[in-house]
Amino acid sequence: MANMAQAIRMALHYAEENLGVTDVFGEDVGPPLGGAFTVTQGLRTAWNSPLDERGIIGCAIGLALAGQRPVAEIQFVDYIFNAVDLLKLAGNACWGCNGDWNLPMVVMTPVGSGIRGSIYHSHSFDATITHIPGWFAVMPSTPLDAYGLMLSACKQQNPVMYMPPKALLRTRGEELIPGEPGDDKQLAKMIDAPPPPADRSRWKPQWPELIPYEVPLGKAKLVREGTHLTVVSYGRTLPLCRKAAEQLQEEGISAEVIDLRTLWPYDWEAIRASVTKTGKVLFVNEDTEVTNFGEHLIRRTTADLFYQLLAPPQLLAGKFVPGIGLADSLELASVPQLPEIVAAVRALHALEP
Amino acid sequence: MSRPKLVSSKDAAQAQSLAPELLIQIHDLMVKARVLEERLIQMYKQGHGYFWIGGPGEEAFNVPLGLLVNKGRGLDHDFHHWHYRQSGTLLAMGEDPVGALRQMKNAASDPYSGGRNFAGHYSKREWNVCPVSSPIEVQYSMAPGTAMAQKRHGGDGITIVTGGDAGTAEGDFATCLVWSSRKGQELPVLIVVTNNRWGISTAYEGQHGETQISDRGRAFGIRCQTVDGNDPVQTYLALQEAITYVRKERKPFLMEAMVSRLYGHSSASGANFVGDEVDCLARFEKRLAEESVLTRELMDAVRKRWTDEIAEAARKVREEPLPDPESIWRHVYWEGGER
């Protein structure tokens, strides 16, 4: 099974060969490194940019205006904040000119905690990007979704923010990427650049015959069926929610788990259907909890499904502190981990009208 | 022993000239652009618009620029990333001034933004005019992208980016210099700074340490030049040379044009005529009369013709409806299918 980094790499390879992607670029994206997380190794159209995030987003906008199809990377989302007004510009370009221009561009940026990244390699971006209209925003939690969401993103006529969770880039899924050989070692030999100090200058990947697979933007995934309550999450916390649900099954708690996958425009129908069935919902993400995207989902749940609810909708999110501290104890205390999710599900289950 | 006679740059500029037909065309467009801006200001003052910003005082640079571009859609033509003082360029490219009036009135018929954006915030994909936005710097970071695509494509299409002197304090200006001058990866972009020596209410001296903004190009090996932007003959010739260089060499050129700001920053500062800056149109008309290219009567007739025509258009535009409130939901995403 491919890990998420390999899955994205294969998707980008497929996209540059078949979907018209012209440029995969950003800091350390091209050779020799091929991305801080190896996501862009061996890609034909990958190139290194200056260490200039505003330049990267600006260049992506320019390339898209000129009819190209760029995938621009911001190496860590923590460094995207000085380009936020360019993200706003990308989001309002089509609307502002009343539909004269459009921007088919993808910005890819690893998000979230889980690699002991301290204050500037642990940020989340879901609250911020869902506050910038005009974008699609996606966050995969499995390699196959990462592959399928990237193919959909690369076919879009609008800007797409593609946010792989850092903590999951090295994790493997339970499903094969269509076309991958199925043997981890064989895949690594084919598409992973030789690690340093090996000379990579003559290395060329041997891509498997990839088969397209699209995860449509705006479609959530029912990860686990349940009857007592609904847990809606995405990204790093999604596998933890799934694990919590499995664990609590033994206590007789039946939790339904939904992977939102696309944050905007999100799959309200999936949430509505599940919450209508269970009457209880917990939203889990790791962005800071004040003006959190989950708060919007709670507002909508409360407004639209009030009479179906059996308990107040809950949010488990990151603590509202300025950063995530480096020490294990600090990181674990700052963003939701398995024990807190288990406790939150248990507490929600215990609530009765 | 007689000393060699130095020809001052002023004399040299005066020695240059253009064909009389071209001078007359430039004059006509400068008047048209000035009359349009003055009509927009009047519309604002009469309550037919909420805000005015534009380029009166930059006509001697903006009109020649518009006459020299390769107009059209796609990579074989020039791409434009402008700031909000570029009416003269768009008119010189052949645009009907009624569009600017409609945008001022924020009418549904506004061809650039459908009543969504301020005056001077143009967009015209048919001619590669990228959407103008209010931030004073962002266009400088977008320009390398179109120029990169053009270089890859081949041909002689170039990217033209314009902004003001104050905007060069932003990092995006440095982005443009860095990204367009990387060795072996130089980009065909004409980087323009129209220097009116003001940043809203703050004078140039309070914002800049560099003597000339064009000097900043030297550190990057970018060809650069400062021109008298109040002289349309000098700007035409300088732009012609710079554009030819960018087209042929596929390398950047930084041009700083010293211009005037004849009605202040925007309507926020009153939009009243300032008497203490060079009026490029008055200066050009004096020269045209002295050189017997045009008589005062003919020039007055030109102004009257545009004044009447644009006033008549403004009267019609005043009756045009505002956009439908439901239209706010349109174009959040692209509605045009595959492009």
pLDDT in tens, A34-68: 999 999 999 999 999 999 999 999 999 999 999 99
Quick one: pLDDT at residue B1? 42
Please say which residue of A152, A174, A191 terminates a domain: A191
Q: Does B133 touch chain A (CB under 8 A)?
A: yes
Nearest CA in chain A to B144: A59
The kind and range of the H/E element at A315 are strand A314-318
Looking at the fold, whether A143 and A257 belong to one and the same domain comes out as no
AA identity, residue B305:
R
Which residues in chain A have their CB less than 8 angstroms from residue B324's CB? none
Q: Is residue B222 part of a domain?
A: yes
CB contact under 8 A, A58 and B175: yes
Looking at the fold, whether A164 and A300 belong to one and the same domain comes out as no
Residue B251 and residue B184 in contact, taking contact as beta carbons nearer than 8 Å: no
> Which sign, positive or negative, has the C-alpha torsion A328, A330, A333, A335?
negative
CATH of the domain at A101: 3.40.50.970
CB contact under 8 A, A134 and B113: no
Looking at the fold, whether A152 and A34 belong to one and the same domain comes out as yes
Backbone phi, then psi, for A72, in 5-degree steps?
-100, 140
pLDDT(B235) > 90? yes
CATH of the domain at B207: 3.40.50.970
Q: Is residue B31 part of a domain?
A: yes
The kind and range of the H/E element at A249 are helix A237-249
CB contact under 8 A, B113 and A67: no
How far are the Cα atoms of A60, A100, B93, B146 from residue B126, in angstroms, in the given order?
Answer: 21, 9, 12, 15
Q: Is residue A214 part of a domain?
A: no
Which residues in chain A have their CB less than 8 angstroms from residue B81's CB? 62
Looking at the fold, whether A172 and A305 belong to one and the same domain comes out as no
Tell me which residue range forms the domain holding A114. 4-191
Q: Does A63 touch chain B (CB under 8 A)?
A: yes
Spot the catalytic one: A13, A121, A123, A228: A121
Tell me which residue range forms the domain holding B129. 16-320
Q: Does B330 touch chain A (CB under 8 A)?
A: yes
Measured CA to CA, the distance from residue A47 to residue B318 in angstroms comes to 51
Q: Is A94 left (phi over 0), alpha (psi -120 to 50) or beta?
A: alpha
> Which sign, positive or negative, has the C-alpha torsion A181, A183, A186, A190?
positive
pLDDT(B4) > 80? no
As a whole number of Å, the CA-based R_g of chain B is: 20
Q: Is residue A209 part of a domain?
A: no
Please say which residue of A142, A175, A191 terminates a domain: A191
Q: Is residue A203 part of a domain?
A: no
Q: Does B304 touch chain A (CB under 8 A)?
A: no
Looking at the fold, whether A143 and A255 belong to one and the same domain comes out as no
* Average pLDDT for B188-211: 95
Q: Is residue A215 part of a domain?
A: no
- Over residues A98-137, the pLDDT tens digits come to 999 999 999 999 999 999 999 999 999 999 999 999 999 9
Question: With a CB-CB cutoff of 8 Å, which residues 228-287 of chain B face chain A?
Answer: none
- Over residues B264-307, the pLDDT tens digits come to 999 999 999 998 999 999 999 999 999 999 999 999 999 999 99
Nearest CA in chain B to A96: B113
Q: Does B335 touch chain A (CB under 8 A)?
A: yes
Which residues in chain B have their CB less than 8 angstroms from residue A54's CB? 141, 171-172, 175
Looking at the fold, whether A185 and A228 belong to one and the same domain comes out as no
Number of H helices and E strands in chain A, helices first, is 11, 12
Looking at the fold, whether A174 and A233 belong to one and the same domain comes out as no
Backbone phi, then psi, for A86, in 5-degree steps?
-75, -30
Backbone phi, then psi, for B202, in 5-degree steps?
-100, 130
Query: What is the total count of domains within chain A?
Result: 2
Measured CA to CA, the distance from residue B81 to residue B146 in angstroms comes to 9
Measured CA to CA, the distance from residue A251 to residue B74 in angstroms comes to 63
Q: What b/e readout covers A158-167, taking b as 16+ CB neighbours within 10 angstroms?
A: bbbbbbbbbb
Is residue A13 part of the annotated active site? The answer reads: no
CATH of the domain at A268: 3.40.50.920
Looking at the fold, whether A95 and A241 belong to one and the same domain comes out as no
- Over residues A183-234, the pLDDT tens digits come to 999 999 999 999 888 899 899 999 999 999 999 999 999 999 999 999 999 9
Query: What is the total count of domains within chain B?
Result: 1
Quick one: pLDDT at residue B7? 42
Strands (E), A92-151: 106-108, 136-138
Looking at the fold, whether A149 and A45 belong to one and the same domain comes out as yes
